[in-house]
């Protein structure tokens, strides 16, 4: 089937602003469903085509629309961030459903920000929108996008605003002005040197790359809203799930920065009675191949093959065929959940999340008070502790634990995904607890949480927990991690400082993983107080960590005895 291409097709919004889109349509026949995506990164750039080939999809009987969101590239207006996508999403679906040759049905696709534009359009409630395919998506900007259990996602925010958004906005606002060459050159320099300079700046609300360029006030606005207030609730998708009438095929990665939101969205759509599917690979936010971080998971993990069944475009087509054309295909016969299990490097199907057969198994932290670094004597097993001396370490914001792998979306210097923790585990401000070598495989699939009993000398501080798989050759490969900023331990709406020297029980959410610890491997847990620059340093003073620069050293204590049985809970699959 021949495909006709139209560039910069005008799409009027209700306020008179015109957005523009590229349209791919079959030359003959119809009417056809419309498949839409809306992104801020440019409809004529590679970002728009990484997940789905619009020509291939149009050849199978769809009209494909790729639109620049408001204030970006060819579209008019001022870019106002996530808040603009609800009304603009509704208006665009209305327009798309009435395109020449359209049958009135609309589906959407896209990753990251243009996965969020899918949720925003669905939340707006247009009846023509029937089906979504959000990839590496988030549904709440405070929870895991801007903040993670109180800690600011500094690495993500500084990188995304500076590298992905600021240059585009600077060109739109100031191109042609006498100082544009100087501003542009400096901004590019700042983007290239975030690891050396920008990430280390204090206070955060004076972040110089954006201050000098005079762009993206939204970045500084979020720093003034460090609790979950109306500013964040207004752009959250979560209150809207109950009224959504859409099916959704969600794709995520064990090392994606929005993994928790992807799983939560899947559960919310299913709870609402709609058809929902979940696919999780061993991927990061932007790498869906088989070689991720320092590991190669085998060709079956590559999204271009997907267990040698289909590539990403074909997967989208099958889902749209099933939902919009009511065609029978292999997807209808698959269970709703498809997970890549690391370690054994194989795909596994499931009907529910968490998996119904899960055995929630606590692994307790032990030592004689000297678990500091890989040279300490921390151990990990399923036996509850008796009388044991607590562990101590010093957290100095001037010398934080460096970010090493994980669920990252940062500058390329900080490589996301699985990474050997050797350098991190040499530090005395990292407590290490390691199991004996396994004699049988240990399968862990599902949510992971840690419960710790701690003390600190500070009014506010952080505790970070990381789960790793220790290989027989000594490599310690990260699987999941989490952070708890103490002032948010009970609420994300109303903060409360801690009393120095008092014992607190806290829960640290490590999100989830899917991994088989093979025979000869060991299970390891790290406990520390920083992961920089992924999360901003807690300055330990009790004052704002975003608008101040003074800091103090904190003396940290981890208890693990009969009255304070610190442990991590693993979702073990028999």
Nearest to 440 by CA among 260, 554, 573: 573
* HEC readout, 190-246: HHHCCCCCHHHCCCHHHCHHHHHHCCCHHHHHHHCCCCCCHHHHCCCCHHHHHHCCC
Q: Tell me how far apart the terminal alpha carbons of the chain are, to the nearest angstrom.
A: 50
Q: What amino acid positions are annotated as catalytic residues? A: 112, 256, 285
Give the DSSP letter string of 255-274. Answer: T-TTHHHHHHHHHHHHHTT-
Please count the other Cβ atoms lying within 10 Å of the Cβ belonging to residue 47. 21
Phi, psi of 509 (to 5 degrees): -90, 115
* Structure tokens given for 133: 């395919």
DSSP for residue 93: H
Token pair recorded at residue 404:
């090493």
User: Can you tell me whether residue 135 is helix, strand or coil?
Assistant: strand
CA-based Rg of the chain, rounded to a whole angstrom? 24
Per residue, what are the HEC states of 492-512? CCCCCCCCCCCCEEEEEEEEE
Phi-psi region of 75 (alpha: psi -120 to 50; beta: other; left: phi over 0): beta
CB 336 within 8 A of CB 277: yes
CB-based burial of residue 474 (10 Å sphere; 0-12 exposed, 13-18 middle, 19+ buried)? Answer: exposed
Structure tokens at 215: 């762009």
Cα 529 from Cα 430, distance rounded (Å): 8
> Could you tell me if 446 and 502 are in contact, meaning their C-beta atoms sit under 8 angstroms apart?
no
Rounded CA gap, 68 and 98, in Å?
19
SS3 530: coil
Q: What share of the chain is helix, strand, coil (3-state, %, to 5)?
A: 25, 30, 45
Beta pairing partners, 366:
379
């Amino acid at each position: 089937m021949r495909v006709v291409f139209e560039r910069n097709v005008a799409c009027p919004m209700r306020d008179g602003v015109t957005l523009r889109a590229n349209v791919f349509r079959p030359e003959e026949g119809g009417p056809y469903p419309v498949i839409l995506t809306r992104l801020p990164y440019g409809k004529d750039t590679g970002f728009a085509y990484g997940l789905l080939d619009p020509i291939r999809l149009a050849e199978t009987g769809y009209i494909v629309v790729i639109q620049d969101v408001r204030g970006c590239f060819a579209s008019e207006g001022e870019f106002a961030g996530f808040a603009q996508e609800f009304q603009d999403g509704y208006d665009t679906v209305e327009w798309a459903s009435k395109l020449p040759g359209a049958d009135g049905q609309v589906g959407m696709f896209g990753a990251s920000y243009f996965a969020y534009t899918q949720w925003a359009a669905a939340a707006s409630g247009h009846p023509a929108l029937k089906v979504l395919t959000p990839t590496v998506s988030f549904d709440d900007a405070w929870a895991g996008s801007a903040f993670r259990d109180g800690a600011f996602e500094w690495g993500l925010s500084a990188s995304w605003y500076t590298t992905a958004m600021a240059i585009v906005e600077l060109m739109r606002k100031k191109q042609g002005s006498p100082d544009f060459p100087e501003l542009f050159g400096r901004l590019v320099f700042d983007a290239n040197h975030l690891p050396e300079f920008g990430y280390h700046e204090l206070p955060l609300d004076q972040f110089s790359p954006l201050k000098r360029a005079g762009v993206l006030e939204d970045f500084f606005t979020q720093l003034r809203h460090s609790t979950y207030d109306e500013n964040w609730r207004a752009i959250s998708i979560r209150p809207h799930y109950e009224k959504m009438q859409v099916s959704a095929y969600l794709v995520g990665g064990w090392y994606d920065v929005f993994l928790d939101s992807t799983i939560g969205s899947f559960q919310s759509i299913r709870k609402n009675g709609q058809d929902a599917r979940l696919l999780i690979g061993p991927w990061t936010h932007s790498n869906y191949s088989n070689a991720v971080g320092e590991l190669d998971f085998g060709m079956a993990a590559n999204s271009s093959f997907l267990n040698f069944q289909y590539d990403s475009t074909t997967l989208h087509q099958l889902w749209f065929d099933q939902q919009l054309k009511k065609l029978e295909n292999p997807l209808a016969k698959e269970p709703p959940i498809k997970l890549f299990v690391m370690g054994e490097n194989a795909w596994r199907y499931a009907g529910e999340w968490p998996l119904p057969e899960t055995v929630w198994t606590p692994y307790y932290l032990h030592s004689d008070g000297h678990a500091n670094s890989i040279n300490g004597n921390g151990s990990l097993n399923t036996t509850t502790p008796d009388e044991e001396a607590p562990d101590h370490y010093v957290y100095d914001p001037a010398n934080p634990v460096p970010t090493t792998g994980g669920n990252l979306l940062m500058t390329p210097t900080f490589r996301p995904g699985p990474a050997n923790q050797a350098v991190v585990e040499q530090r005395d401000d990292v407590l290490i607890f390691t199991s004996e070598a396994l004699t049988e495989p240990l399968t862990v699939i599902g949510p992971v949480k840690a419960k710790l009993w701690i003390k600190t000398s500070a009014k506010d501080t952080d505790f970070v927990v990381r789960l790793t798989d220790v290989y027989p050759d000594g490599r310690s490969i990260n699987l999941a991690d989490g952070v708890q900023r103490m002032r948010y331990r009970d609420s994300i709406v109303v903060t409360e400082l801690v009393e120095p020297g008092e014992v607190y029980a806290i829960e640290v959410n490590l999100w989830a993983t899917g991994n088989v610890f093979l025979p000869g491997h060991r299970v390891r847990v790290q406990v520390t107080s920083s992961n920089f620059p992924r999360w901003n340093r807690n300055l330990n003073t009790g004052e704002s960590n975003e608008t101040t620069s003074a800091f103090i050293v904190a003396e940290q204590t981890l208890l693990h005895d009969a009255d304070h049985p610190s442990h991590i809970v693993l979702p073990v699959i028999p």
